[in-house]
A and B are shown apart, each in its own frame.
Chain A
Amino acid sequence: MGLLDARISNRNVLVTSVDNVMNWARLSSLWPMGFGLACCAIEMMATNASNYDLERFGIFPRSSPRQSDLMIVAGTVTMKMAERVITLYEQMPEPRYVLSMGSCSNCGGPYWNHGYHVLKGVDRVIPVDVYVPGCPPRPEALIGGLMKIQELIRMEGIGLSRQDALKKLAEKSVDPQQVIDQARKVATA
């Protein structure tokens, strides 16, 4: 039974500072599993490559799920692949995060209506933390998504579930409608 499993009711200064250190470590060293499915994977590779260089954030891909913290589901998950994705996800040690990259893994994307063999969203089989939209998402978008994951981790803590963290985040984050309004402003500007 480790500390990260513990349920702590009173969160004093000590706990929070331990939290901060541990969260900092986790968010600074997110090792994704080198795992590409489709076109998005190429953009993921491009993000890893020199021009965007994910290693700046301490993100560098490991090929074994055992040593990775983050699963970037980059591409179309098909029915045949779904079970493998579950297995691979399960084989990652906790704490683990899932980033769904691209329309396909968000919700089936371009293949959602007639794609009989396409899983309509990877969140049907594994819990997803952050959804990155785009088809394929630009490297910038992927980096943005990873920063969102870092934001999420920052909110986590000993004895806090992921849901709590999300709630905490939701309190801080903006309403999606505002995003649109903002977009409107950007577009009109």
Chain B
Amino acid sequence: MSSSPSLNTWSDALSGFTIGGFPLGLIIVAAIPLVFIALYALTYGVYGERKFSAFMQDRLGPMEVGPWGILQTLADILKLLQKEDIVPTVADKFLFVIGPLIMFVGSFLAFAVLPFGPAFIGADLNVGLFYAVGIVALEVVGILASGWGSNNKWALYGAIRSVAQIVSYEIPASIALLCGAMMAGSLSMQHFNVVQSGPYGFMHFFLFRNPIAWLPFIIYFIASLAENNRAPFDIPEAESELVAGFFTEYTGMKFAMFFLAEYGSMFMVSAVLSIVFLGGWASPLPNIGGLALNTMTSGPVWGAIWIILKGFFFIFVQMWLRWTLPRLRVDQLMYLCWKVLTPFAFIAFVLTAVWEIYM
């Protein structure tokens, strides 16, 4: 069901070629580029993180593997493929294996609703945003499975901390996104982009259109950091406390899955943030008089570029924070979530509602 008939998702566009009503084959065709974008984002997220962090720390970062080290992530993955797989004797074999799977699939599924351009989206669900918020739940279960399945104390600590953290921050995160949904009046991811695109570029973005939007924007950003276990909320995998958190016992490919899932969700939340508050694929450049910058920089290809740029910008900010700040403690984390972010999220919610109705 397409709630926005004016828009064609890519799969819709291709559905003319199907013989039945159900274009499964074409969906696959449509999905594959997305998959690659996702994987690309994952691997280059890792590379970017290394480089950015290096530059912030007066280092060079990966240099020797490929020119400027760009093949580093590839080598890492290839290497992880070759690593022996160890399943500890005391571990719960089933949960140990299923954990990374759920984790990865959970973070991967979220990509299905990310629009990469006016006609380039996996699935334009009319509950897209809600779906994006909810799919995190899978990761939670994956983390619990791997933490419990490892039968390792560090892993269990990491998992429980992580789950408590993710579920807590889901509340401010979802309320903050709710504010976005209220501004857009829809939950469809494409709709967000459509209502935020226009000739005046960034002036259409909710962040600039609405004087209160910065509050949910910041709240969601902070909460998304916590949901991804990013610093300063990386207590679940706090190296200096819990060795490696819930994936302490994981080797080789299974570990790679966590790795990819982590960077996948990083991109995911960054993209959601930019879609909901910063117009997603909409071009931020305004048309100035005769200079039709906006028109020039719109379109399917530009859309993908814009959203990836915006996503990467927020990934950059995440990294920037990570390499600057110390880590919070678990009670401070809960304090921040329940006593700062949640009340402010409610305030933002009320203000947005009032603004939207009366202004």
A-side residues, CB < 8 A to B, are 4, 21-22, 24-26, 28-29, 50, 53, 55-58, 60, 62-64, 66-67, 69, 91, 93-95
Closest A residue, CB atoms, query B155: A64
Complex CA gap A69/B251 in Å reads: 10
Chain A binder among B35-43, B71-79, B170-178, B282-290: B71-79
Chain A residues in 8 Å Cβ range of B57: 50
Q: Which of A21, A67, A69, A95 contacts B250 (CB 8 A)?
A: A67
* With known contacts A22-B82, A25-B78, A63-B243, A58–B62 Cβ distance under 8 A: yes
B354 at the interface (CB under 8 A from A): no
Complex CA gap A161/B6 in Å reads: 63
B204 to chain A, nearest CB (A): 41
B-side residues, CB < 8 A to A, are 50, 54, 57-65, 69, 71-72, 74-86, 239, 243-244, 247-252, 255
Contact yes or no, B72 A29, CB < 8 A: yes
In addition to A64-B243, A93-B85, 8 A-B residue pairs with Cβ atoms within 8 Å of each other are A29-B65, A55-B59, A56-B61, A56-B69, A58-B62, A64-B244, A67-B247, A67-B250
Chain A residues in 8 Å Cβ range of B50: 55, 60
A6 to chain B, nearest CB (A): 13
Complex CA gap A4/B74 in Å reads: 19
Complex CA gap A60/B251 in Å reads: 16
* With known contacts A55-B50, A56-B62, A66–B79 Cβ distance under 8 A: no
Contact yes or no, A67 B251, CB < 8 A: yes
Chain A residues in 8 Å Cβ range of B81: 25
Contact yes or no, B239 A28, CB < 8 A: no
Q: Which of B76, B77, B83, B244 contacts A93 (CB 8 A)?
A: B83
* With known contacts A22-B78, A25-B75, A55–B83 Cβ distance under 8 A: no
Q: Which of A28, A66, A95 contacts B65 (CB 8 A)?
A: A28
Closest B residue, CB atoms, query A91: B86
Complex CA gap A63/B251 in Å reads: 12
Closest A residue, CB atoms, query B58: A50
B172 to chain A, nearest CB (A): 30
* With known contacts A29-B75, A58-B76, A93-B251, A53–B69 Cβ distance under 8 A: no
Complex CA gap A4/B84 in Å reads: 9
Complex CA gap A69/B65 in Å reads: 17
Contact yes or no, A95 B244, CB < 8 A: no
Chain B residues in 8 Å Cβ range of A50: 57-59
Complex CA gap A50/B255 in Å reads: 27
Top 3 closest A-B pairs, CB basis? A25-B78, A28-B75, A93-B84
Chain A residues in 8 Å Cβ range of B247: 64, 67
Q: Which of A25, A28, A67 contacts B82 (CB 8 A)?
A: A25
Give 27 CB contacts A-B under 8 Å: A22-B82, A24-B75, A28-B65, A28-B72, A28-B79, A29-B78, A50-B58, A55-B50, A55-B54, A55-B61, A56-B60, A56-B62, A57-B63, A58-B76, A63-B243, A64-B243, A64-B247, A64-B248, A66-B248, A67-B244, A67-B247, A67-B251, A93-B83, A93-B251, A94-B83, A94-B84, A95-B82
Chain B residues in 8 Å Cβ range of A62: 244
Closest B residue, CB atoms, query A57: B64
A155 to chain B, nearest CB (A): 16
Q: Which of B62, B86, B244, B255 contacts A55 (CB 8 A)?
A: B62
Chain B residues in 8 Å Cβ range of A55: 50, 54, 59-62
Complex CA gap A167/B316 in Å reads: 47
Closest B residue, CB atoms, query A22: B82
Chain B residues in 8 Å Cβ range of A22: 78, 82
A47 to chain B, nearest CB (A): 12
Chain A residues in 8 Å Cβ range of B86: 66, 91, 93
Closest B residue, CB atoms, query A94: B84
Chain B residues in 8 Å Cβ range of A63: 239, 243-244
Closest A residue, CB atoms, query B75: A28
